[in-house]
Amino acid sequence: MKYLLRNKIFLLFLLVLIYFSPTAISLPQQSRSENIITAMGVDKTDEGYEVHIQYVLPYLDSNSSLKVMTGKGSSVSEAVENVDMEYGKISGFAHCRAVIINDEACMEGLTQIMDYVVRIKTNTNNVTLINSRGSSKDVLECATNLDNELYTIINSNGIAAEQRKYQDLKTVNDYYNCLFGNCHSIAINVIDTEDAEEEGGASSSGKSSGENSTQSGPKKSKTIKNNGELAIIKEGKKVLELTDKESDNLAWFDKDVREGKINLEHFTDDLYTDASLNFFVISKKNKISVNFHDGEPYFNLKIKALVRSAQVSQENMREEIYQVARKKFSPTLISALKDKISSQLKDAETHFKANKYDVINCAEYFHKFCPREYAEYISHLPSEDDFITHVHFSYTIDIEQRR
């Protein structure tokens, strides 16, 4: 004992213990003073902003582990403050994984909303950005009724979409990089809810049901709809919405989208006759090179896709077709696949040139690899946004078969 009391380290440990123990014991549970937020929704209304917060219920006996609460204010920070005041807890954003913003707020400007998000003490740069066509509250409530985080639903596209979508979810970090960079445009996911009448609570395939049914008979419920549409945010404001087909076309440009699908209709070669063919793109690699030739900008995209056959639909199915997985793709088929990808790329090109949005980071590539020529070129343009309309695109597609 004497030795212990002479030991400086022991005395220090004792001192720290004496100081901290009463403080720690007297403190209330942190879950009573702080809400663990998993997603935040922001709606623009006539009065200002409406903020909806999906948070974790820290009780084991409740039916659902998540709940949504709402606050109003003239700014996002005021609305969050009002939520805190009303529910008597501080909003903790360390576990927030998604921010969903309605159309009105997106059109008015994302930057003022994002400004609140990035100024939160905890790191929120990896939060996913989503645009909801209707109220973000409906989407969050749908996810809450499913007892699932919004991020999990959006990330597992197979659950919430009619078809699997191959898109890269954009984060707050991506948003600011586009805003501060040379492109000023970014494409974020659009999701929506729709009313669905179900019988006996069975959810329709391909969509996530917003209500768990325990009683039989027809009932109304809401489902989250994620058809893969993209919202084009330019200079912080939503300017355009792409259809699912346009989004699929654009996905070929995105190097972070590494999977995909290709459909060929009415295809005929030695093996198939007027067949409908579906292919999975197992992996995709994009190689981009840019250069100026005779003072004109050239953007060369080389895509290497590893493809496997997913489904064949043909009226007269021969035995050979069942063995298709083992057969080598015919030159006609490879050529048709290349043409299909090429036409999708060209469609996307026509669209972004016509609407002057650079979500493929074209200007950024030229700034990186040909900084002098790029600076010289844009100095003659009325606006930096016009640059993409002057770029000449060329595509090289390489198809490899996975057997």
Which one of 176, 280, 292, 298 is in contact with another protein (CB under 8 A)?
A: 176
Q: Considering only 77-85, 121-129, 219-227, 351-359, which stretch makes contact with another protein by CB under 8 A? A: 121-129
Tell me the two tokens of residue 336: 């048709």
Structure-token pair, residue 325: 């997985």
172 — phi, psi (to 5°)? -60, -40
Task: Give the C-alpha separation, 400 to 402, whole Å.
Answer: 7
Q: How far is the CB of 31 from another protein (least distance, A)?
A: 14
* Shortest separation between residue 18's beta carbon and another protein, angstroms: 11
Residue number, 36 or 230, with CB nearest to another protein: 36
Indicate the residue among 94 and 317 with the shorter CB distance to another protein. Answer: 94
The amino acid that residue 226 corresponds to is: N
* Candidate residues 76, 79, 98, 336; the one interacting with another protein per rule CB under 8 A: 98
| Residue number with CB closer to another protein (114 or 142) | 114
Helix or strand run (H / E) with residue 260 = strand 260-267
- Which of 5, 180, 197, 319 contacts another protein by CB under 8 A? 180
What are the tokens at 224? Answer: 């989250």
The nearer residue to another protein, 42 or 307, going by C-beta atoms, is 42
* Site membership for another protein, residue 16 (CB under 8 A): yes
Told to check if 206 binds another protein by CB under 8 A, we report no
Question: In the numeric block, which tokens belong to residue 279?
Answer: 């292919």
Q: Could you identify the residue written with the tokens 């109003």?
A: 72
Going by the DSSP 8-state scheme, the letter that residue 171 receives in this structure is B
Instruction: CB nearer to another protein: give 98 or 250.
Output: 98
- Closest to another protein by CB, 49 or 175: 175
- Binding of another protein at residue 38 (CB under 8 A)? yes
- Tell whether residue 149 is a contact of another protein (CB under 8 A): yes
Nearest-10 crossing angle of helices 244-251, 331-355? 110
Residue 85 within binding range of another protein, rule CB under 8 A: no
b/e map 129-149, b = 16+ CB within 10 Å: bbbbbbbbbbbbbbbbbbebb
Give the interface size with another protein as a residue count (CB under 8 A): 40
Burial of 392 (0-12, 13-18, 19+ CB in 10 A): exposed
Q: Is 92 in the site for another protein (CB under 8 A)?
A: yes
For residue 293, the minimal CB distance to another protein (Å) is: 19
Binders in 363-392 for another protein, by CB under 8 A: 365, 367-369, 371
Using the rule CB under 8 A, is 169 a contact of another protein? yes
Mark out the alpha helices in 298-370 (DSSP H runs).
319-322, 331-355, 362-369
Q: Which is nearer to another protein, 125 or 330 (CB)?
A: 125
HSE-CB for 95 with a 13 A CA cutoff: 14
b/e for 318-335, b at 16 or more Cβ within 10 A? Answer: eeebeeeeeeebeeebbe
| Residue 71 · residue 14 · CB < 8 Å | no
The verdict on 173 binding another protein (CB under 8 A) reads yes
Q: Which two three-digit tokens encode residue 149? A: 């985080």
3 state SS of 340: helix
Of positions 52, 97, 133, 222, contacts another protein by CB under 8 A: 97
Is residue 9 a contact residue for another protein (CB under 8 A)? yes
Alpha-carbon distance of 61 to 57, in angstroms, equals 10
Is residue 12 part of the contact set for another protein (CB under 8 A)?
yes
23 binds another protein per the rule CB under 8 A: yes
User: Judging by DSSP bridges, how do beta strands 34-44 and 98-102 pair with one another?
Assistant: parallel
For another protein, what does the binding mask look like between residues 275 and 314, x meaning CB under 8 A? Answer: ----------------------------------------
152 near another protein, judged by CB under 8 A = yes
Q: Minimum CB separation from another protein for residue 12, in Å?
A: 6
Q: Maximum distance among all alpha carbons in the chain?
A: 95
How far apart, in whole angstroms, are the C-alpha atoms of residue 123 and residue 41?
18
DSSP, collapsed to helix, strand or coil, labels residue 391 as coil
Handedness of CA 133, 134, 138, 142 (dihedral sign): negative
By CB under 8 A, tell whether 226 contacts another protein.
Answer: no
The smaller minimum CB distance to another protein, of residues 94 and 381, is found at 94
Residues that bind another protein (CB under 8 A): 8-9, 12, 15-16, 19-20, 23, 36, 38, 56, 92, 94-95, 97-98, 118, 121-123, 125-128, 149, 151-152, 155, 169, 171, 173, 176-177, 180-181, 365, 367-369, 371
